[in-house]
Amino acid sequence: MGETVAVCDQNGNFLAWGAYSPASQIRVRLWSFNEEEKINAEFFYHRIKNAMLVRERTVPLSETNAFRCVHAESDGLPGLVVDRYADWMVVQLLSAGANYWKQEIISILSEFNVKGIYERSDVDVRRLEGLIETTGVLWGEDPPSKVLIKENNYQFFVDIQKGQKTGFYLDQRVNREKVKKYCSGKEILNCFCYTGGFTVYALAGGAKHVISIDSSETALLSVTENLQINGLPTEKNQCLEADVFLALRKFRDEGRAFDVIILDPPKFASTASQAQRAARGYKDINLLAMKLLNPGGILATFSCSGGISPELFQKIVAGAAIDAKADMQVIERLHQSPDHPVSLTFPEGEYLKGLICMKNPTN
């Protein structure tokens, strides 16, 4: 499982080298279209090195030491995700092919100035590849329970062993900075806040007050720590452990209003077939949020569902605006940060989209 096979057309002409995955619906994931290329440790070294060079040019490394180093297909390495958190690397091996080359990949990564490499292959897509979920130290030292990272010069504690995904939502780095600009002197509602990424930026941007909502108690415990480590006023933030769908309704019934609302929900749809159900979820929260916005208020709304295209997402948000009777304009369109690049041959790699919308100031 995961061995290299040649993919040929019906006449036996070579098309590509790929990794064979007998258990998966995606039977082969391609490594290379070049027949001369040998799929070996050197191949992985070159692809990984290339991915690292792209980050050196696109990530402001003096301000940010946590970012995605390898973004799977988008870096020519299907099934391999590598995130750097200060001195640590976190690896996800999501396909039979990536798993097959595990030892070679670890030995290559260990040369990139790290203290330790930790595996977070506790992701259900592994099952589709016939692999079991695995976590643990792959190389070097055990990571501390909280790794302190720097993102745009803000600090965050990240639990790379048990946190969501590989510990932190690195894909929102650029968007957090963008949302910050709208926060000065404002009342903020940060929905699906996780460990407080947007909360830290909002208060650093001079927000008057933030309510940070998440259903995860563990995540919320980190919000206050992350404010403290940045010297930000914890009393200006209120953590609320709640289901956002219910909390928004409660705020509506109480007649509450906010100047900036952030909606960064988890993935509602991984594939296009789940799009319809997901669309209902997005419409619901966006509609409620628009009703809670003051005139001139800002909605920063995101979708990380691969099954929802940017066009469809905009349509869903537009539908929500009509039903909320809110006159909204798109001010900015947002995407995943540049350390999550999109290969032109793999447009599916573009999964995170966002809109910053403003409610008519005199509405």
Residue 160 in 3-state DSSP?
Answer: coil
Instruction: Compute the least distance from the CB of residue 308 to ligand SAH, in Å.
Output: 15
> How many beta carbons lie within 10 A of that of residue 279, not counting itself?
21
Which CB atom, from 95 or from 303, has the smaller least distance to ligand SAH?
Answer: 303
Distance CA 76, CA 141 (A): 29
Residue 96: closest CA among 109, 108, 78:
78
67 contacts: CB under 8 Å, gap ≥ 6 = 55, 59, 83, 84, 170, 173, 337, 339
Q: Supply 79's token pair.
A: 């099934």
Amino acid at 285: I
Instruction: Compute the least distance from the CB of residue 291 to ligand SAH, in Å.
Output: 18
Active site residue 8: no
Which CB atom, from 41 or from 240, has the smaller least distance to ligand SAH?
Answer: 240
Instruction: Compute the least distance from the CB of residue 258 to ligand SAH, in Å.
Output: 16
Tell me the chain's radius of gyration from C-alpha atoms: 21
Instruction: Compute the least distance from the CB of residue 245 to ligand SAH, in Å.
Output: 6
Instruction: Compute the least distance from the CB of residue 222 to ligand SAH, in Å.
Output: 10
Q: How far is CA 209 from the centre of its chain?
A: 25
Distance CA 182, CA 110 (A): 41
Distance CA 120, CA 135 (A): 5
Sign of the CA dihedral running 112, 113, 119, 120: negative
Instruction: Compute the least distance from the CB of residue 198 to ligand SAH, in Å.
Output: 5
Which CB atom, from 215 or from 234, has the smaller least distance to ligand SAH?
Answer: 215
Q: Which of 69, 183, 304, 357 is catalytic?
A: 304
Q: Supply 137's token pair.
A: 């130290």
DSSP string computed for 115-157: SEEEEEE--THHHHTT---EEEEEEESPPPSSEEEEETTEEEE
Which CB atom, from 44 or from 194, has the smaller least distance to ligand SAH?
Answer: 194
Which CB atom, from 24 or from 222, has the smaller least distance to ligand SAH?
Answer: 222
Q: For binding to ligand SAH (CB under 6 A), which residues are involved?
A: 164, 169, 172, 192-195, 197-198, 213-216, 219, 243-245, 264-266
Place of tokens 């750097």: 84
Which CB atom, from 36 or from 253, has the smaller least distance to ligand SAH?
Answer: 253
Residue 272: closest CA among 302, 310, 306:
306
Place of tokens 């929802």: 308
Burial 157-195 (b: 16+ CB within 10 A, else e): bbbbbebebbbbbbbbbebbbbbbebbeebbbbbbbbbb
Instruction: Compute the least distance from the CB of residue 174 to ligand SAH, in Å.
Output: 12
Which CB atom, from 129 or from 214, has the smaller least distance to ligand SAH?
Answer: 214
Using CB positions, name the residue nearest to ligand SAH: 197
Which residue numbers are catalytic?
A: 304
